[in-house]
Structure 1
Amino acid sequence: MLQLFLMKLTLNDFENDKTILIIILKNHCYEEVCVLSN
């Protein structure tokens, strides 16, 4: 699921959205870690 999400972002002007992508990835990874730790 995350891979499909990344592919979509890569197709949509990745360079322009790099900052947004980083923020989204950090938030997603953080949420995943929280879910796994709980």
Structure 2
Amino acid sequence: MEAVGWAAVVVVAAVVVAGVVVGVRSIPDAQRYLKMRRM
């Protein structure tokens, strides 16, 4: 059962990291998009 717990922790950590990476990457893209819209 310990293996299942570790697997769940790893999966959750991977999802959180992926979400943070996507969020950080989308911020500059959103700003660039808004600048293009103003022009």
Larger radius of gyration: 2
Instruction: Return 5+ residue gaps in structure 1 as ranges.
Output: 1-15
Instruction: Return 5+ residue gaps in structure 2 as ranges.
Output: 24-39
Q: Any residues of structure 2 matched to 1:1-38 within 5 Å, and which?
A: 16-38=1-23
Larger helix fraction of residues: 2
Figure out how many residues of one structure are paired with residues of the other and give that number.
23
Identity %: 4
Which aligned segments of 4 or more residues in structure 1 are displaced greater than 4 angstroms? Answer: none
Relative contact order (C-alpha < 8 Å, sep 6+): which is higher? Answer: 1
After TM superposition, the score normalised by the length of structure 2 is 0.55
